[in-house]
Amino acid sequence: MTANDEPAFRTDRATLARRLKTLLPAHCLLTDDEDLRPYECDGLTAFRQLPMAVCLPETEGQVIDVLRTCHQLGVPVVARGAGTGLSGGAMPHAEGVVLSLARFNKILRLDPLARLAVVQPGVRNLAVSEAAAPHGLYYAPDPSSQIACTLGGNVAENSGGVHCLKYGLTVHNVLRVRVVSIEGEVFEIGSEAPDSPGYDLLALMIGSEGMLGVVTEVTVRLVPKPELAQVVMASFDDVARAGDAVAAIIAAGIIPAGLEMMDKPATAAVEPFVKAGYDLDAEAILLCESDGTPEEVAEEIARVTAVLTASGARELRVSQSEAERLRFWAGRKAAFPAVGRITPDYYCMDGTIPRKRLAEMLSAIAAMEKKYGLRCANVFHAGDGNLHPLIMYDASQPGEIERAEAFGAEILELSVALGGSITGEHGVGVEKINQMCVQFATPELEAFHRVKAAFDDGGFLNPGKAVPSLHRCAEYGRMHVHRGELKFPELERF
Amino acid sequence: MQLDDIVAAVRAAHDSHTPLRIRGAGSKDFYGGLLAGDVLDVSGHRGIVAYEPTELYLTAKCGTPLADIEAALAEKNQMLAFEPPRFGGATLGGCIAAGLSGPRRQQAGAARDFVLGVRLVDGTGQVLDFGGQVMKNVAGYDVSRLLAGSLGTLGVLAEVTLKVLPKPVAEATQVFELDEHEAVARLNAWGGRPLPISASFWHDGRLWLRLSGAGAAVEAAQRALGGEVAVDAGKLWESVREQTHPAFASPVLWRLALPSTAPDAGLGTPAAVEWGGALRWYAGEQDAARGAAARLGGHAVLYRAPESLRCREGAFTALSPALLALHRSLKKAFDPKGLLNPGRLYAEF
């Protein structure tokens, strides 16, 4: 996974190990292959690479020392949180160091009156909400890996979750980050005030996939926990009709706390696993959550129910207790592991499309299932157009992994052609780097490289990820859909 | 006026090393550093390009007046939730370039939070598309949000796509007699409770609190919070948003963005407090404003002042050397010759 015009790094392993040993105590440094093995991949296990060393610093001073030394020696650095990412963003570099922030695991301050928490990047997402719970507060972004994923990783990927239609992404919920540059310089971006002087560097840093700096502290906004949440489960005979129902909810002026869709293969995979009570005959089911004060929820649920009925839902159920609400959600939240039970391997995609193109996308995916001879289940953050097709394959069968990758690439390229994006929340990493060539033209890619150079001129931070070199795009040979002027002619059939 | 006209103008300026001053309606000429360069009037590049109410986005050209955009949204019962000031004829380009937000910012988020995509003409005359029309998009660096508040120093924002939201079903405003310390304390305490507070404005011993949401929720909050029902609340919020309220009348006005719980800044009684205590306005020359804001963990903008004072103080708080270096590099990345709105953000670039 290296492009031949990306900077070629040649690291002397012995020198690197010797230098790192002078910076870190023995328990903070791994250099033997067997110790490095657990770090060879992140949540995207199809891409693996052993690094030369793993550093597990415990202080910001050690982070500075490691970065400064790597910069001096010309060694690539890949920052890593919990390694739950799904795009290979934390996959090590063969000539480089993995900088794990796992030991930066303290909540430094939680101010219930100001409604914010200052945390180290290795703190788990859910731990922030747990610490805030006694004050009636929580941290809103809730990626499905929230039990394990860390705030540092969330910042790197601009993570979302099932509630981001109403409560926003990481970029809407982070107030400040403290950053160490590749040269070992410390700077802070943002503050506890509502805005900061100068450019909005926070927007640039969040979602930058570890390419611009290493975050050592994050200040997040906490919000009051709604008094009540209730979910409506609706089943539909037709996915297009379910998609129209989502549009009708928005058109009625309702922004639900969560709005999720699963297609028939997804509910079929999930139901035996979690027994959520899904309608297995339905072509699609919708989960629509309302939260707020009891009065607000009652009013919104009544409106949602009316809209869904008018949109042709064949069955409607409203959760009558917190236990039932959690059971309705359990299937959606367990969709990935449930699919994992019915297939040896699966490949999760992350394209975003305008919602009105959903039916087109799903029928195209059905055609691709035949073309590649692989099955696909679809779960969908319907409210914000973020689709997660789960392509099922068996890596032990020759050719299947290649077919799965080609299937995924075709979905992503169709997402762009339909007016969407190759990634809604998982990041580009190594996984979608070729599809960046489809989403962006040369001038934008060049601008990204200039932005990168403003922070990391030598390209030492996470090389080979997130933004492809122009050479790679030329080799990949796919055409960028330039402002809608160039369309793939074969799209007509969808 | 077409995109090509903007491109041609920027290219010509680039070739002849001519500084450009990008101008929409000129409604915020008072804001930021002093104006310099030949005027590039982009108000003719106007019109709504796309509006999809059920996809919650609107795309328009930079010269489109906010009034036109809000009229289109109102037809579908939607709004620009960050309530940007219109100051008469403000255009979309200027709105995002300045990055100013109005009363609802405390609940809904700031201008930058609603930017989904931007078509930029950079300092060399290249057209660059960042972001798009979908809510979730993490491909590439988030340059579109970076442009919010960049005051035209990185390029001409030729076209902008914004996330739009439905208007709340119900709204009500309660008013309380409180001094500013008590108002800030109450606002922070209320902020930690699940109440539908969408705006707050304190001035001269009175606190106005706007509640927005489902009808039943607004009524329940009115009962829980007490206070008096405000008369003519719509006019009040309009005057706060447009800064036509007497609180903003001083010819010298400082804007302090602070942690909402910050204690008294020691600058006398504020002219106004907004955003749950996080935005405080002070009238008159204030030599201590910058120091006080920094000490409290925020920053001070010399928001409105005569030219001589703006020259001496600069509009914005100085950046640390590390951040200034980053700003210079980013400026160079998008406007290598430093021709676009020079000095509008900082005198250094």
Closest CA to B156 of B8, B36, B319: B8
Tell me, yes or no, if B166 comes closer than 8 A to chain A by beta carbon. Answer: yes
A 364-383 residues with CB < 8 A to B: 381, 383
Chain A residue whose CA is closest to B256: A193
Interface with B, mutate which of A118, A177, A296, A483 (most B CBs under 10 A): A296
Look up tokens 């979690």; give the residue: A274
Angstroms from A197 CA to nearest CA on chain B: 6
A423 chain-B contacts, CB cut-off 8 A: 137-139
How many CB atoms neighbour CB B17 within 10 A? 9
Q: Are B130 and A436 in contact (CB under 8 A)?
A: no
User: Which residues 159-188 on chain A approach chain B with CB closer than 8 angstroms?
Assistant: 160, 164-165, 168-169, 171-172, 181, 185-187
Rounded to a whole number, what is the distance in Å from the CA of A153 to chain B's nearest CA? Answer: 14
Q: Label residue A161 by pLDDT band (50, 70, 90).
A: confident
Chain B contact set for A64 (CB, 8 A): none
Of B106, B140, B146, the CB nearest to A440: B140
User: To probe the interface with B, which of A167, A186, A199 has the most B CB atoms within 10 Å?
Assistant: A199
Q: Are B265 and B280 in contact (CB under 8 A)?
A: yes
Q: What would the pLDDT profile of B165-179 be if each residue is shown by its tens digit?
A: 999 999 999 999 999
- Please, which residues have CB within 8 angstroms of residue A36's CB and are 6 or more apart in sequence? A30, A50, A51, A53, A54, A92
Identify whether the C-beta of residue B60 lies closer than 8 Å to the C-beta of residue B66: no
The 10s digit of each residue's pLDDT in A336-383 is 889 988 999 999 999 999 988 888 899 999 999 999 999 999 999 998
Q: Do B323 and A187 lie within an 8 Å CB cutoff?
A: yes
**Rounded distance, CA A63 to CA A447, Å?**
29
- B54 CB neighbours in chain A (<8 A) are 247-248, 250-251, 355-356
Q: Which amino acid is it at A126?
A: L
Q: What's the pLDDT at B334? A: 98
Contact A356, A247 (CB under 8 A): yes
Identify which has the larger pLDDT, A195 or A478.
A195
Q: Which pLDDT tens digit goes with each residue over A169-199?
A: 999 999 999 999 999 999 999 999 999 999 9
Chain B neighbors of A201, CB-CB under 8 A: 146, 323, 326
Torsion region of B266: left, alpha or beta (phi above 0 gives left; psi -120 to 50 gives alpha)? left
CA-wise closest residue to B86 among B28, B32, B171, B31 = B28
B326 near A CB under 8 A: yes
Q: Which residues of B touch A155 (CB under 8 A)?
A: none
What's the CA gap between A259 and A245, in Å, rounded? Answer: 11
Instruction: Give strand pairing partners of A239.
Output: none
Evaluate if pTM is beyond 0.90: yes
Percent of chain B with pLDDT over 90: 99
Q: In Å, what is the CA distance from A243 to each residue of A235, A384, B100? A: 12, 12, 35
Mind telling me how many Å the CA of B330 is from chain A's nearest CA?
Answer: 6
Measured in whole angstroms, the distance separating CA A369 from the mean position of its chain's CA atoms is 24
Helix (H) or strand (E) holding B211: strand B206-213
| Residue owning tokens 């791994």 | A30
Would you say residue A424 has pLDDT above 80? Answer: yes
> Which of B54, B217, B332 is opposite residue A251, by nearest beta carbon?
B54
Task: State residue A331's pLDDT score.
Answer: 86
| Percent of chain A clearing pLDDT 90 (strictly above) | 84
Which residue does chain B place closest to A468, by CA atoms? B140
Phi/psi region, residue A352 (left: phi>0; alpha: psi -120 to 50; beta: rest), is beta
- Give the Cα separation of A187 and B89 in Å (integer): 39
> Is A360 an interface residue toward B (CB < 8 Å)?
no
Quote the CA–CA distance of A226 and B166 in Å, as a whole number. Answer: 20
B324 min Cα distance to partner chain A (Å): 9
pLDDT-derived band of residue A481, with 50, 70 and 90 as boundaries? low
Amino acid found at A133: A
- pLDDT of A5 reads 54
Query: How many Å lie between the alpha carbon of B173 and the closest alpha carbon of chain A?
Result: 18
Distance CA A393, CA A105 (A): 36
Provide the terminal-to-terminal Cα distance of chain B, rounded to the nearest Å.
29
Can you tell me the mean pLDDT for B244-265? 98
Query: Would you state the structure tokens that stand for residue A463, as one six-digit string?
Result: 């090389």
Percent of chain A residues past pLDDT 70, beyond the cut:
95
Q: Can you give the pLDDT at residue A359?
A: 86
Asked if the C-beta of A482 comes within 8 angstroms of chain B's C-beta atoms, the answer is no
Segment A65-79, tens digit of pLDDT: 999 999 999 999 999
